[in-house]
Amino acid sequence: MPNSPRKTPLRRLLLSLGAAALSLAAVSTGSPLAAQPHAETASAEKQSGFAKHAMVAAANPLATQVGVDVLKKGGSAVDAAVAIQAVLGLVEPQSSGLGGGAFMVYYDAGTGKVTAYNGREKAPMGATDKLFLGDDGKPLPFFDAVLGGISTGVPGAVAMLDMAHHDHGRLPWAELLKPAEKMAEDGFIVSPRLAGMIRIKQAPQPSAPDAKRYFTKPDGTPYAAGDLLKNPAYAQTLKRIGKFGASGLLTGPVALDIVKRVHEGPRPSTLTLADLASYRPVKSEALCKPYRIYLVCTPPAPSGGPGLQIALGILNQTDIGERSAKDEKAWFEFAQASRLAYADRDRYIGDPDFVDVPIKGLLDPAYLEKRAELIGDKAGPVTFGIPEGAPQVGPDATAEPGGTSHFVIVDAQGNVVSMTTTVESIFGSGRMVDGFFLNNQLTDFSFSPANKDGTPAANAPAPGKRPRSSMAPAIVLTHDGKFYAAAGSPGGSSIQAYNLKALVALLDWKMSPQDAVSLPNLVARGDRFSADPFPEPIMQGLAARGMPLSTARGENSGLQAVIVKDGGYEGGADPRREGRARGF
């Protein structure tokens, strides 16, 4: 990747913005099942929005506003995505950033085509299938691996956005990074959520030396909500990326700093400058499958798209669409479909450049019909199926924490971005270079690379391999190929269930985006039924079906959703976090 100045795209969009009146009309959330927002977040009524021309739903108000500003200047949905990601990496570094990866699906209103962009991180070429095994041959403790240099893969989010911008950008690349540059230089107000993450004790990254140094004020106390936090190093990195594009991150002094940092301390990485410079994102057709009268499009493997499509395909065989969110049988069907889909996803999904993913067999209507027959009336044991073309693979042993972010953008031409972006765990590996955190994405590989008989797991580590992801940004089209809705969420392995809930609520139960994302979550995987509190009749009904819900912790989704509505776009943001849906 040459270290030469990033060329400005020739395409420019000349729009008349005179008729674009800013509309921040809120959408009421009258759902009786609406999740209670955390104390630090704004009310759902303030988070939702309606707009006639364009819409942004992102996880932080500052990022949402920057995205709207770009669109009002005539920028494309991809232009806004570049600007939003730069801001999120600054104000929400626990979730995503320059040092992480992402998946995007893009709808082109002119052609009706949905394209998938894969910015998933790669393992260094020096990695082996024993990457996360200790000297005793046993899997390392999870956080020992996270804090080591071995957890960091080659970051792909910036390279992915660079590729998408070459394809669909209208405003100059460097200009799109200016709002985040200024915010980093002048400082931004620490949000309640970030302040809480700085103080969290359940994970070691906030106490790691780099993170502690960054988040400690001169008086020795940690930054709190309302404090002004500056990050001039981040601004300088953005200036370099603005000049050189993705090569500003993956070559030159920033790349040197990344390699140096991951080679330091315990469990050093084998990452090299060649690993960074040779990284390329992947562009492909989206994975689009019918659901009811709609077409749902997600990225293909190794994303979470196939798992979400399996779950939808199973539910497509049920009567959940004739029920409602108040019906415990609907939630039972939802949970059973989730369990069956997770079992297949965990067994078979990996990087298709390294393993045979039987996607045709997994999504075959006849196979899905057989899987749906297993839903039954009560929860029993669930295992993976044997679809056509299934390879011999071993069991999976992957842990996936929930540090991630999602946003949806619809521009004035009707083009759409649905993008999920991450550094994997909270503040990634806890290591920083040049103002941003490094990912711990390689811990998304299966720590145990093979079964006792030597059969490898589909998601076993390998040199140059991308780890399996749960990220599953979705775009929904009507039967005639027009944009209808988009949704996505952070949440580690729970993303599949969060997104499934939102899509069922939007497409089957005809809820508004805000009501859909505000519904309580139910994550059914194996014999675990983790959930937000539901109304007692639903809780009791599910328990009677052998599905007692564990609600002590709650489910920390961060859904964003947008739908076409009555001459405009209606957006919703998860009340469990700080997101906003706004437009003009």
CB 307 within 8 A of CB 349: yes
The whole-angstrom separation of Cα 206 and Cα 215 is 8
404 is catalytic: yes
Residue 50: strand, helix, or coil: strand
CB atoms within 10 A of CB 108: 17
CB 187 within 8 A of CB 204: no
CA 135 remoteness from chain centre? 33
Residue with tokens 């797991």: 457
Question: 416 CB contacts (<8 Å, ≥6 apart)?
Answer: 77, 106, 107, 109, 408, 409, 410, 475, 483, 486, 562
Q: 152, 298, 318, 404: which one is catalytic?
A: 404
Residue with tokens 């941003």: 436
The whole-angstrom separation of Cα 424 and Cα 283 is 22
Amino acid at 180: A
DSSP state of 552: S
Cis peptide before 302 (omega within 30 of 0): yes
DSSP state of 499: H
CB 320 within 8 A of CB 334: yes
CA dist list (Å): 175 to 55, 282, 335, 340, 542: 20, 25, 45, 46, 52
Residue 62: strand, helix, or coil: helix
Residue 285: strand, helix, or coil: strand
The whole-angstrom separation of Cα 246 and Cα 248 is 5
Length of the chain: 584
- What are the φ and ψ backbone dihedral angles of 116, each rounded to 5 degrees? -105, 135
Strands (E) in 54-160, as ranges, are 55-58, 101-107, 114-119
Residue 302, sorted as left (phi over 0), alpha (psi -120 to 50) or beta, turns out to be alpha
CB 352 within 8 A of CB 282: no
Question: 554 CB contacts (<8 Å, ≥6 apart)?
Answer: 531, 532, 533
Catalytic residues: 404
